Structures are given as C-alpha cells and as structure tokens.
Structure 1
Amino acid sequence: MPSPITKKGYDALKAELDRLRKVERPQVIEAIAEARSHGDLSENAEYDAAKERQGFIESRIAEIETKLADARVVEIAGRTSDTVVFGATVSVIEQETRSKRQYTLVGQDEADMKFNRISIQSPVGRALIGKRVGDFVEVTTPAKMVEYEVVEIRFEEL
C-alpha cells in the first residue's frame, strides 16, 4: 500500500539517498581499504568500525529505496478540505487545560515534534483524521485520556 508523503519529505529522502550513495559509501570504502592496509584484521578496531558503518549505510540505502518505491507524493499547496486529511494543519484546544495546540499531519518519516509535525499513524493523528471544525476527539496517552476540540483546519506549504 502506498505511503503518503509531502513533496518536501520525498525530496529530503532523495537527498539523503544521494548523499549516502555518492559521499558516505565511497568514504567508508576508502576507510576499509585504509584499515586493511594496517595488516592483521583480527584486532583492527578501525576496520571493525568501518565495516559496521558500511553495514549501516547499506541498510539505510535499502530502507530509503523501499520507502521511495512505496511513496505517494501528496501535494499540499492550494488544497482545501472540510475534514482533517493528510497534510492538514489542525488547531485544537485541549479541553482540560484550554491550551491551544497546532499539529500538521505528515508521513511517518516527516514527523518532528519540534515543528509540530505528527505522523498520521500516531494516536493523535489517527484520532484527528476525518474530523471537522467543532468535532471533539479523545486520545489515550500513556498518562491519561486527553480530549481536544478541532477549531481550525488549513493547508500551508511545509
């Protein structure tokens, strides 16, 4: 099943893949060759570290290639909807504290709480999908049940 992703998120994954292939992979191959030139590999910490790094890089390349193959880019700019959907920026009021919060619903690889971007697979994201302004949602957190009121839905470029 295709995974939704913003254009910005897709471009970021492509840039990381490009960097891994063109910069990191050649650097680690060079580091392995350098470590090999030191002789005995059985007690060669540089060689072990470089091989471990190589494994990580190759694993990450494969992971990104799979994500890009499964990705479905969703255009956000100019979009409108009466309901919360992927890419929406949603303002909510937490009912107990009356504090206002804002979340942008994005794909799992784009989620970043520093920028209030939450995954559509997160508990809050799942609860908000399909809701309208004025709707209430309940979200179970590890600490307690939280109730939010949806007060605004908009779409903005990320």
Structure 2
Amino acid sequence: MAEKRYPMTAEGKKKLEQELEDLKLKKRPEIIERIKIARGFGDLSENSEYTSAKDEQSVVESRISEIKTMLQYAEVVDVNDVDANEVSVGKKVTFQEADEEPETYQIVGSAESDPLAGKISNDSPIAQSLLGKKVGDTVTIETPGGAFAVKIINVEN
C-alpha cells in the first residue's frame, strides 16, 4: 500500500522542519529533566509532577513522529509548474458567491492549514472543489452546511 503523500508549500515544509528541531532540541530535553526531578520526589504512583511530565512526553513524542512522517512523504508543490490561472496547492484563489463579498484563501497542505490566517487545507471541501479549476469557472462547492456556487475571480502565486 502506498504511503499518504503530504502536499505542502516550501514555506510549510520549512516551518515543520523548524518545529521538529525545536521539539527535539528544546522541548524533549526539558521534559526529560522534569521527569528526572519528579522521580526524586519519591513514590511515582502519587506523583502528579511525574505523571504530568510523562503525559507531556507522550504528546511531544507523538508529534515528533507525526512530523517525521509528514516530512518523509512531503510533496513540495512548485506553483510555477502549474498554469498561472489554475487553482493549485500553494496558490491564492479569490472567488465570489452571488451577491456576496469576494473571499480569498491560499490553498495549502493540511499541515499548514490556518483558516484564520486565510490558509485552507487542500483536503477541505472548498479546496477540493476549486483545485484544477481556472479563472472564470463557476464551481459548485459541497459542504456539510449545503452546496453553493462560486465564480473564480483571480488566482495568484
């Protein structure tokens, strides 16, 4: 079975690499030190500091593993390899629903998604409907809240 691919921008990959480095070189050693200190408090069965540090260690190790997998199977998307008017991962797309204000989002890999910053995941219903379409196309977007039609106004790198 083929491994899942993780499309992302070069910026997104760099951020993941920085997060991985921070977790491995700063966070992990801090937690190990907290565990050592907590062990010195005695009985581990009633030692909340120890339990808390071990729980945090588990979360950090899980995130390290997740990031390593994403980086191993990362597909850095070069927006210059795609037609300038075509919606793809890494590009900003502006679209408008009838009688509504235009909306602009950058389509990014799921690891980079931050809707409040205008970055939506390529796995989202909106992005899935827009990917591969071009400026001027009218697209029906199916979401859990219902379907709506939008017109693609602009695509930019």
Q: What is the TM-score when the length of structure 1 is the normalising length?
A: 0.91
CA RMSD of aligned residues (A): 1.6
- Give the superposition deviation at 1:88: 1.6
Name the CA distance, whole Å, in 2 between partners of 1:129 and 1:75. 15
The equivalent of 1:148 in structure 2 is 150
After TM superposition, list the pairs within 5 Å mapping 1:90-101 onto structure 2. Answer: 90-95=93-98, 97-101=99-103
Contact 1:91 1:102 in 2 (8 A): yes
After TM superposition, list the pairs within 5 Å mapping 1:8-157 onto structure 2. Answer: 8-76=11-79, 80-95=83-98, 97-155=99-157
- Give the superposition deviation at 1:143: 2.5
More deviation in 138-147 or 59-68? 138-147
Name the CA distance, whole Å, in 1 between partners of 2:88 and 2:123. 12
- What residue ranges of structure 2 are gaps of 5+ in the alignment? none
2:6 matches 1:3: yes
Q: What is the TM-score when the length of structure 2 is the normalising length?
A: 0.91
More deviation in 63-72 or 131-140? 131-140
Give the residue type in structure 2 aligned to 1:151: I
